[in-house]
Structure formats: C-alpha cells, structure tokens
Structure 1
C-alpha cells in the first residue's frame, strides 16, 4: 500500500475539524477519508482501532497545542496574572484572525460529547483539563499560593477560559475572551 507521507496529519487535521464542526457522533470515518483526500487504507494503517483511537489522537494533539501556549506564556511573563491575560488575549486574536473557525474549545467537541460513551475518551479528556490546570497551579505554587487555593484557582481559570472561548465562538465576537482577560487579576490577584 502506498501511503502519502502527510496522510496521517491530513487525517488528524480533518478529523479534528469535523469533530468540532459536526460533533463526534455525526462524523463518519468515510467522510474523514474523503475530506482528507487520504487512501482508505491509511486511516486503518495509522488508526487500526478506528474512530475512538483517532479521537484520542485529536484530544492529545489539542491538549498539547494549548498546553504549549500556556507554558510559553507562563515562562515568558512576569507573573501568572500577566501570563493568563496574555494567553487569553492571544486566543482572542487567533479567534478573530481565523474568523472564529480556527480556534477549537476543547470541551465543546469532545469532553462533553464523548465522556459519556467511552471511559477511555473520558479519561483522556480529564487528563487534558488536569494538564492545563497543572500549568497554572504550578505557577501559583511558585508564587507562594497555598496548594488547595492554587488548585481551586487553576480550575476556575481554565473553566473561565473554556467558557469564554465557547461564548466567543457562539457569538462570533471576541468580547467574552476580552472580559475573561480583564477578570484574571480579580481571580488570581
């Protein structure tokens, strides 16, 4: 079988986009193959366990993209307040520049829809939120915050970000993200 060198990435990109725009259940493997312009055999070559394995790959990739952005801002900002404001403002900019189509709120397309149908997907989604919260929590701990308070604040900040992103995409307006960025000092200060 001849597989295009970029077939795996094309499949993952297409699946991520379709899961976001149509939902997990409404997205079929045949549509992913067709829209990615990949040979049918390549999907099963890279993802022998099918749609769930592909969804796990999409979850992990989305998680790492966001975690990298979070870590970048934490490592390059004076403090966690500035880091989170810059991170959220960056996501607002990305949303506007993509006409609200290139930014995916993680919870919208996988965490809610798939966590009730598959324990493996639910566990993967749980790990995503934990990873993102850990980036914020570790920064708060380094700043001297008590462990329990740091964990609570990290959870609320990630919830605020996800909710604001979901609203921004729904309204096709950056204002919910801008409002979230403005309130970060209140939550973390």
Structure 2
C-alpha cells in the first residue's frame, strides 16, 4: 500500500471511531508512522483535505459493497434484507458497524465546510441511487422509487446510529422486519 493510501485508510478508521475533531494530526502521524512533512506532501491543505479524501474512499467502498449486494438479489426487498443481515451480523460480531456510516462526521463537520458537506452528500446520493434503480427494476414508478429510496436511506442510516448508541443490533432487525411493508407497490 502506498503512503497516501495508508494515510487515508488509517485516518478513515480514526475519524470513524473518534470524529473529526476528536482526532489530532499528531495522532494520525503517530498511527501512520510518518512525518508532518509526509502528510502535507500528500495533503497540502491539511486535515480537511485528508477528511475529504477519507470520505471519497468511504464513498467508493460503501457504494461498491451495496452495489455488490444489490446485484446479487432479484428484488429490492431481498437485497435490502441481505444488506441488513450483513450489518446485523457485523454489529453482533464486532460490537460496532464501521465502513457503512459516517453520520458522526456529517453532524460534526457538514455545517462548517461546504466541501465536506458535498462529499458527504455524494455518498447518500449514491446509496439512494442504488436503491432507487433497484426499485425501478421491481416495477416502481420513478417518483415512487425515488421517495422510497430516500426513506430507505434515512431509515437504514438512522438504524445504524441507533445500534451504535443503544449497543444492540435490534434497531436494524426491526427495520428488516418492517421493510416488506415499505416496499409494497
């Protein structure tokens, strides 16, 4: 792994665990075992530029994961339930869900930086697009697919945050059980 990718990978994990403000540059440098000069060589505008690179990396990873799941199932309901089952299994195994959410970063930073807000918005737009496209394949009208996909995005993201704050996978299990009602045409 090259130095820039290593920095992004480690910083992403730190930002997810502690939030943007909870992670100092010195901690990133120490975890990456690099100098400040090396960090600024790859990210001349500093920590915010690094965060945007982390968000872009998460966007690619999360989008690819969701697309892979949704390609593997014939209907939105089956794909959604498989994805929720994966999230529940991840939570039950690891006690957390990393790599599928960055709501804490959004709530902490989106109002302070337009470029961060845009990077965060892009991920949610991509997720909603995956859901919407699959719903259209299932026969939903474009408008109904869009609104249902928005509801799914908000519900699943909220469910992840509830799992983390309540320290249980029950919220995602509940979402999975009521999802069939949401996906009726």
TM-score (norm. length: structure 1): 0.90
CA distance in 2, matches of 1:32, 1:174: 30
| Counterpart for residue 16 of structure 2 | 20
Matched, 1:150 2:155: no
How many residues align? The count is 184
After TM superposition, the structure 1 = structure 2 runs for residues 1-189 of structure 1, keeping only pairs within 5 Å, are 6-100=2-96, 102-103=98-99, 105-108=101-104, 110-189=105-184
Mean Cα deviation higher: 99-108 or 150-159 = 99-108
- Does the CA-based 8 Å contact 2:70-2:134 persist in structure 1? yes
Does structure 2 conserve the Cα–Cα contact (< 8 Å) formed by 1:167 and 1:176? yes
How far residue 17 of structure 1 moved from its aligned partner, in angstroms, is: 2.2
Instruction: Specify the SS of the correspondent of 2:111.
Output: coil
Over 3 Å counting, the alpha-carbon distance change for 1:103 and 1:168 in structure 2 is: farther
How far apart are the structure 1 equivalents of 2:100 and 2:66? 15
Structure 1: runs of 5 or more not aligned:
none
> 1:71, CA displacement in angstroms?
0.8
Gaps of 5+ in 2: none
1:135 offset after TM fit, Å? 0.4
Distance 1:102 1:70, change over 3 A: closer
Q: CA deviation at 1:40?
A: 2.4
Could you give the per-residue CA deviations for residues 107-165 of structure 1, whole angstroms, max 9, x where no partner exists? Answer: 12x21111111111111111111010000001111222111111111011011111111
Q: 1:144 is paired with a residue of what secondary structure?
A: coil
Q: Is the 8 A contact 2:90 2:97 kept in 1?
A: no
Q: TM-score, normalised by structure 2?
A: 0.91
Choose 77-86 or 90-99, whichever is displaced more: 90-99
